Structure 1
Amino acid sequence: MRASENAKRLSRVIENTVQHERARREISGKRSEIRELKVQKRSAVVELKEDQYGMMDGGGVAYVRWGRRDCPTGSSLTVLVHSGYVAGTYYTSTGGGSNYLCIDANITYHRGRYSDGANGASHIYGAELRDSAWMHRLFDLSDTEKNYLRLNSLPCALCLAQLMITQIMIPGSSTCPKGWTLEYKGYIMGGGHSDKHASEFICVDQKPQVVPGTNTDETGANIQMVEPQCQSLLCEPFVAGRELQCVVCTY
């Protein structure tokens, strides 16, 4: 009698176990189906937004790619917002803005909303590479018009790294932290140390382009290589006079 009850109990346990495993597999299958449907729906939304706006659902972070008129092609998540020209304050001016701007190449003027002529306003000029030809060996000139940088003005691109939540520029490094995505790398550049006003330091792409037709000494906003000096920076690991690399990363 007891053996029969034990057998029935064991049979029920086995049956319950089988049913539980079957239910678990069904739930797991349903979850997989739901995930797949979500992926398909998101892909459809992405394609729609790419067609309409050129960007993905989920936002992202924007950064300027200095020295290029396009965005990195290594990731389908990074798209071009606009391209333009690097501009800043005249190098001998004591006033004006201290930062570089990426001015849209397709500039627009609203009719009746401007006053032509010199009105004593703040002035802005193209940013011209002022270092001598020695800097050429530091860069990859395969995309540089006429393989020459000196006295040319620089283009720029505003890029959107879609689905990313933050971006950083690391001076002194050519690699991104673990888990971060490399957008581009290059060299730190800024205004000359004898210029009459301060400027910001920017990361210029290691494979630069230039603005065609600007390879003459027009003067304007200066942009030059940046080299550490050892008065207050330790000479180890820094090397006095050695150009600083940089990298732009997203996460």
Structure 2
Amino acid sequence: MASLYIVSMIFVLCLRSIEYGRGDEAGQEEKDKRLLISDPQVFQAQLEEMQRRIQALEARGNEQQVSQGAVYTIWGKKGCPTVTGTKTIYSGITGGGMFDQTGNGVTTLCLPHDPEALPADFPTHTDAYPYAAYIFGAEYQFGYKNVDVNDDVPCAVCHAQTSASVLMIPAKRTCPGDWKMQYNGFLSAERYDHTGADYICVALYGDYFEGTRGVNADGRLIFPVRAKCGSLPCPPYTENQYVSCVVCTK
């Protein structure tokens, strides 16, 4: 946008030059030239004013971009990290397809605690009643710190208000350059011999839901991911080493 403004300003200056050249008073152009030569402060002031306008326009564009923010989901936590400018949009329940069913969806979702139902008459009919796709909750399949096998997995959807981009980097625990870390953890997916699901970054020090501890209801199962050498080069990777991850914003 700033580039367009610069081009517009140059175009306006060019038009003014043409107007001076076509003026009825032959001495006007010479007068303007003499003014700029004899008083360079006038020319300098015009340049500084143009620069101020360009900077103001760039700042306004950056503010508009940042005001939109970046949205991401933190898996394994009931709320968003205490990072400056990051707010919790809602907290929820990690959900996905059943580990041993070949249908449903492969994307892991953060389901809100206060679902809103569709109209009672939806749908009027289906093509293959009573078949449907289903979504289930999720369970940890390991123990570490606060969580244990079969604990249900929380989640939260976060708004990084001062950022415009969000990035999950596998196999890293720190963010590059001037990117800001939101959280780090471990890479997770379904077990290798289960129905596939997406790779997600689960917070290292996870939370769980009270009242459902140790209840084996299955659903979307949260397994840590290990590296396998071959097409994945070792080193730098290590056979069967658990893979870290980090979520960054900028």
Cα separation, 2, equivalents of 1:119 and 1:185: 42
DSSP 3-state at the match of 1:164: coil
1:211 equivalent to 2:209? Answer yes
Deviation at 1:74, TM superposition (A): 2.4
Cα separation, 1, equivalents of 2:68 and 2:121: 33
Letter in 2 for 1:159: C
Letter in 1 for 2:82: T
2:153 maps to 154
Correspondent of 1:127 among 130, 138, 147 = 138
DSSP 3-state at the match of 1:58: helix
Deviation at 1:199, TM superposition (A): 0.4
Cα separation, 1, equivalents of 2:84 and 2:204: 18
Q: How does 1:37-48 map to 2 (within 5 A)?
A: none
Deviation at 1:58, TM superposition (A): 1.5
Q: Is the 8 A contact 2:147 2:207 kept in 1?
A: no
1:68 equivalent to 2:90? Answer no
Letter in 1 for 2:205: K
Letter in 2 for 1:229: K
2:23 maps to none
Deviation at 1:206, TM superposition (A): 1.5
CA RMSD across the alignment: 3.4
1:81 equivalent to 2:89? Answer yes
Alpha-carbon displacement from aligned partner over 1:22-64 (angstroms, at most 9, x marks no partner): x9xxx9xxx8xxx9xx99xxxxxxxxxxxxxxxxx82111000
Cα separation, 1, equivalents of 2:244 and 2:147: 20
Cα separation, 1, equivalents of 2:238 and 2:70: 33
Q: How does 1:132-143 map to 2 (within 5 A)?
A: 133=143, 136=144, 141=145
Distance change >3 Å, CA 235–CA 192, structure 1 → 2: same
1:177 maps to 176
Cα separation, 2, equivalents of 1:114 and 1:152: 33
Deviation at 1:149, TM superposition (A): 2.4
Q: How many residues align?
A: 205
Distance change >3 Å, CA 186–CA 171, structure 1 → 2: same
1:201 maps to 199
Deviation at 1:71, TM superposition (A): 0.9
Alpha-carbon displacement from aligned partner over 1:181-226 (angstroms, at most 9, x marks no partner): 111111101111111x210000001221112222222222211000
Deviates more, 1:118-127 or 1:186-195: 118-127
Letter in 2 for 1:87: G
1:99 equivalent to 2:107? Answer yes
Deviation at 1:240, TM superposition (A): 1.0
DSSP 3-state at the match of 2:67: coil
Cα separation, 2, equivalents of 1:218 and 1:87: 12
Letter in 2 for 1:62: V
TM-score, with length taken from structure 2:
0.70
TM-score, with length taken from structure 1:
0.69
Letter in 2 for 1:94: T
Deviation at 1:247, TM superposition (A): 0.5
Letter in 1 for 2:211: G
Cα separation, 2, equivalents of 1:223 and 1:72: 21
DSSP 3-state at the match of 1:80: strand
Letter in 1 for 2:187: I
